[in-house]
Amino acid sequence: METDVNPQPVQEPVQSVDLVVSILAEFDSAAITKTYEELRALPGPLRIAVLENDQRESLAPVSSAAPEGSEDQKNAVIFHVSSPSAKPRGNPGVSSVSEAYQSVFAAADKLQARGCCVIASKHESEKPGWIWQLAQPLFDKGVDLVLPHYARRKFEGLLNNGIIAPLIRALYGKRVNNPMGPDFAVSQRLIQTMLEVRAGGNGNRRQLLASLTSTALCQNLQVAEMHFGARVYSPTDWTAMSSVLADVLSPVFLDMERNAPCWQRTRASAALPSLGEPRYVAEDKVDLDIARMIESFQLGNRELQEIWGLVLPPATLFDLRRLALPAAERFRMSDELWVRIVYDFALAHRLHTISRDHLLRSLTPLYLGWVASYAQDLKAAGASSPEQRLERLSLAYEAGKSYLVSRWRWPDRFNP
C-alpha cells in the first residue's frame, strides 16, 4: 500500500514519542520526501516526530499500512510537527542557531522523547538509513551523544580544525572531531541535562552548541562519533572573518571558563568510540589567496601591536614580529606559537582585558596567518589529506596545556 508523506489530522493529541528528528537544513521537497520514506521504513512500534518549519497541521501522523498499536504494525509511525521557531532565518550567527537547537530540545522534552536527532547540514552523499544510524546508538548502546566525523578536505571547516576541535580535545581529553556538530543525536538524559544547565546559567545564558559536548564530557556521559561523508559548506567569506571569530569563539571561551574545574584535571586524550566506516572524498578545488592572508597578518603586526601587547606575552610578540619579515613563500607559523596565541586569547577573554568583541576581532590577522601557514605546509608536503597535519596540531595543543593551566591559575605571575 502506498503512503502519502503529507500528514493527515488526528483527533487525539500525541503525548509522547520515542524519537524526535529535527530538520534544520534547507532541504528541498524531494529530500524531505526521502527522509519520511526512510523513517517510515523503520521497524515498529517506533513513534517518531519529525520537526519541520512550515505551517502544516501540528502533530499529525503520516498514514501507515497498519493502524498504530495493531499487531500487524511493522513500520514506525511518523508524526509531523510544525515548529516555526526551530530554524534560524537569514544569515544566522551562533547565538540564533543555538536558540534553534534549544527550541528543538524543548520540543523533545515536551514529547518525552527517548532521543533526538538534529539534521542541520547537507551532505554530498548520504547512505540509505543514515539518520537512523545516527540515532540508533542512543537506543541500542546507551550512548548519550553521537557526534559527526565528517570526511575532511584541506580547506573546509578550518575554524573548527584549527581552534575548536583541538582545543576541546586538549581541555577535556577526548579526540572530538566536530564538537559543535551541527548534525548529532542526543539522549533524553543529555537533553534534560542541557535544559537544566541552560536554566541555571550563573547569570549568563549558555549557548547550546558551544556547551553540548563539554557538558556531556564533564558529566561523564557516553559520547561516540559516527563517520559521515563530506559536509556541504557554504563558501567562506574571508572578508567577514572578524565577525565570525567573535561570534563563534566567545561562547566557546565562556564555556571554557565555566568548566575550568573540570578540564584542569585532564592530562591526556583518548579516542572516542567510532561508528561506521571512514569515508573518503575527492580533493577540494578551493584556491586560497595565501598572499593576501599574509598581507593581512603583516598589516595586523603593524597596526595591532598595542592591543596584542595587552593580550600576548613579550616572547610571543617578538616571535610575531620576526614572522612578519620573511618573504611570503617562506612564511610559517609554528604550531607551538599558534597554540600559545589561542590560549592567551582565551585567558584575555576570561579576564576582560579589553572588550571581548574587540579582543576576538583582533585575532583575525593571526588566524589568517595560521591559515596561510597551514596551506603552505600542505602544499610543500604534497599531502592529499589534512589528517596527519591536523594531528600534529592537536598534539601541540595537548603539549601546551601546561602553559594554559599555569597562566590560567596565575595570570599575573606567569608571563614568559
How confident is the model over 251-260, as pLDDT tens digits?
A: 999 999 999 9
Q: What is the pLDDT of residue 93?
A: 57
Contact 325, 282 (CB under 8 A): no
| 191-200, 266-275, 319-328, 347-356: segment of lowest average pLDDT | 191-200
Who has greater pLDDT, 300 or 123? 300
Residues carrying CATH 3.90.550.10, the chain: 19-235+251-275
3-state SS, residue 310: helix
Q: What is the DSSP letter of 173?
A: S
3-state SS, residue 60: strand
Q: What is the DSSP letter of 202?
A: G
Q: What is the mean pLDDT of residues 175-201?
A: 89
Q: Which of 292, 203, 290, 211 is nearest to 255 (CA)?
A: 211
How confident is the model over 38-54, as pLDDT tens digits?
A: 888 887 788 999 987 65
Residue 273 has pLDDT above 90, yes or no: yes
**Phi, psi (degrees; rounded to nearest 5) at 50:** -105, 120
**Phi, psi (degrees; rounded to nearest 5) at 208:** -60, -45
Contact 39, 132 (CB under 8 A): yes
Contact 3, 66 (CB under 8 A): no
pTM passes above 0.85 = yes
Residue 69 has pLDDT above 60, yes or no: no
Neighbours of 87 (CB within 10 A): 22
Residue 197, all three cell numbers = 544547565
The CATH number of the structural domain formed by 19-235+251-275 is 3.90.550.10
| 200-204, 355-359, 367-371, 401-405: segment of lowest average pLDDT | 200-204
For the CA atoms of the chain, what is the radius of gyration? Answer: 23
**Phi, psi (degrees; rounded to nearest 5) at 146:** -110, 115
Grid coordinates 520540543 are at which residue?
107
For residue 244, how many C-alpha atoms fall within 13 Å in the half-sphere facing its CB?
16
Q: What is the pLDDT of residue 249?
A: 97
3-state SS, residue 252: helix
